[in-house]
Chain A
Amino acid sequence: MSRSTSDVLVIGGGIIGLVTAWRAAQRGLRTAVADPEPGGGAARVAAGMLAAVTELHYGEETLLGLNVASAERYPAFVAELEEATGLDVGFRTSGTLAVALDADDRAHLRELHALQRRCGLASEWLTGRECRRLEPMLAPCVRGGLRVDGDHQVDPRRLSAALVLACERAGVVFHRARADRLSVVRGRAAGAVLADGAEPAADQVVLAAGSMSGRLDGVPDGALPPVRPVKGQVLRLAVPGAYAPFLSRSVRAVVRGSHVYLVPRENGELVVGATSEEMGWDTTVTAGGVYELLRDAHELVPGITELPLTETRAGLRPGSPDNAPLLGPSALPGLHLATGHYRNGVLLTPVTGDVMAAVLTTGELPEVARAFTPARFAPVGVS
């Protein structure tokens, strides 16, 4: 049984845990991360759309503020990370096109456009013909679309790898084992018990275990975040050189009520996603999931059936009751939360790192994140 002590222990080495650790270490805090596979987690599966504008939903205007704040930080964040590691994270400012395939989808997209404009977001309405001039591989049935040049993309796998290296270079210690239990000493979080028997101690603990955050042993009920796994199946195709560029920006649509997107990378990878299923911790890839994604993607871009299908995978989004993250101090002294990012984990990585570093050094949530305090889910004594 080994004991080690640090200022901060981060439970979970996905992108949210890693960015928290990196920013904390940069502020001079001795920081450790517990994760059997740092750089894994939902970001291994995610497409990496930074879609603050095209992913706007009714009733999520508060979350929009945080999403936009994070999108604005992305260019400087990427520059700093690439400078620190020498790694390219695949940040691409090629924009997004959201299209409608029939009159019903078009009406829905028109409403989204009106909402975007009420929220002061930059988004341009295009006719179907204009959409197809931008992206000639789109199906002839496209009825119109929204061009959002500010919704960029990043490659989450490369982002994770860069964050692991940045952490190592900043002096972050990695415990390559799963955290089995939170250690609580005299009513205060004091570290964790790991699967390999190690018991790293820390003055402050950050729970950033994605969809697993809601079930860590040792966390008292009042501090346990209400986070559940929401399964997403995602496909990866390859665009052979002869077909390039195939698509030159992210393309998305609602096809009969299901969301489908295609994200083209500069290296020729084309990501197609994603299902949304409430199946617990199941990460099976199903025939139906693959079929529905290909069916909808084919309706949107008929030519995809010619491309090699290189990977099928399922990941678990950490879903919270209001789809927004839980950031900052929990009900248990010494335990902070950075989880529940749901569809927006990659987008929210820069702002989460900044917010958590501020929380760990000052104990206070900065203004930009005040609405995302875990306290908003505190029971109010009414059943």
Chain B
Amino acid sequence: MGDDRLTIAGTTFDSRLIMGTGGAPSLDVLERALVASGTQLTTVAMRRIDPTVHGSVLSVLDGLGIRVLPNTAGCFTAGEAVLTARLAREALGTDWVKLEVVADERTLLPDPVELLDAAETLVDDGFTVLPYTNDDPVLARRLEEAGCAAIMPLGSPIGSGLGIRNPHNFQLIVEQARVPVILDAGAGTASDAALAMELGCAAVMLASAVTRAQEPVLMAEAMRHAVEAGRLAHRAGRIPRRHFAHASSPAEGRAALDPERPAF
């Protein structure tokens, strides 16, 4: 199999599944789902928790030895996002941030202008920036040029479970990127995660698909397998699509049936 680990900004991970905690029905279910997912990196919304308090989500992550990736969910301007990232750095002692700047509450789609602005500011300030972005190859390139450590395009809107709506754009983004491309948002079930990996994504990030499933722990395990299977399939190389059948067993040497006496 060889060494096939995920590397982001010089840090390596055995798991290519990044989890979010939003929507979990209870801390207990969240903990078991995180264990089942095998994740080593999990994102937490900094505007919804107080990082100095024990017994909450951060304690669960700490107990499991999972690295925390603070995010700026809920920010609508570059200014808010930069402030939130700086508060997170101070509170958690990490300069990694999953940068989210959304345009409106109905779609939660990224605001590309504010996003690029915030990304440039945070990179200048020494942050390792992982931006949640539209599936736009041009914006992805601009974010990479600005110094982002990964590109996290959406498959479809946050929490929608609609999967990857534009796989072709994902291919374009993956082909040009020299930093990891990570599916962020939209995965609804295991096949969505597998498809992202088959398209060449370096990792999959998801929350709702697991936390809002009827059985979150089972779905977390499904996602772990899906990411692993998709990654292996990508490395193995799929066969070309053909219009007509191509027999998988050779025809030579088969017993010839007597045409006068059918066997059945």
Contacts and interface: CB of A to CB of B under 8 A. Distances in A.
Interface in A240-280: 256-257, 277-280
A306 interface: no
Contact of A228 (B48, B55, B106): B55
Interface string B13-42: 000000000010111110100000000000
A72 interface: no
A322 interface: yes
A281 B55 CA distance: 12
B218 to A, nearest CB: 11
B230 to A, nearest CB: 27
Interface string B195-232: 00000000000000000001110000000000000000
B112 interface: no
A256 B52 CA distance: 29
B105 interface: yes
A322 B28 contact: yes
A194 B48 CA distance: 34
A290 B49 CA distance: 17
A117 interface: no
Interface string B35-67: 000000000000011101111110000000000
B25 A214 contact: no
Contacts of A60: 25
Given A214-B55, A322-B26, A323-B26, A58 B214 contact: yes
Given A58-B214, A256-B105, A278 B25 contact: no
B56 A278 contact: yes
B211 to A, nearest CB: 11
A321 B214 contact: no
A58 B48 contact: no
Given A280-B53, A323-B26, 6 more contacts: A59-B215, A60-B25, A227-B55, A256-B106, A322-B29, A323-B25
Interface residues of A, number: 21
Contact of A280 (B48, B50, B215): B50
Contacts of A279: 49-50, 53
5 contacts: A58-B25, A256-B106, A278-B50, A279-B49, A323-B28
Given A58-B214, A257-B159, A228 B26 contact: no
A375 to B, nearest CB: 15
A321 B50 CA distance: 18
A60 B26 CA distance: 10
Of A214, A278, A321, most buried by chain B (CB within 10 Å of CB) is A278
A323 B214 CA distance: 16
Contact of B25 (A57, A256, A257): A57
B49 A278 contact: yes
A144 interface: no
A117 to B, nearest CB: 15
Interface in A200-230: 214, 226-229
A321 B48 CA distance: 18
A319 interface: yes
B27 A321 contact: yes
- Residue with the greatest number of chain A CB neighbours at <10 A, chosen from B48, B49, B55, B159: B55
A281 B50 CA distance: 10
Nearest to B59: A228
B52 A280 contact: yes
Contacts of B49: 277-279
Contacts of B23: 257
A364 interface: no
A115 to B, nearest CB: 8
Contacts of A256: 105-106
A174 to B, nearest CB: 29
A59 B28 CA distance: 11
Contacts of B48: 277-278
A256 B159 CA distance: 10
A281 B23 CA distance: 22
A59 B53 contact: no
Interface string A3-39: 0000000000000000000000000000000000000
B262 to A, nearest CB: 52
B58 to A, nearest CB: 9
A280 B91 CA distance: 14
Interface string A281-309: 11000000000000000000000000000
A67 to B, nearest CB: 15
B245 to A, nearest CB: 40
B25 A319 contact: no
- Among A228, A282, A319, which residue has the most Cβ atoms of chain B within 10 A? A228
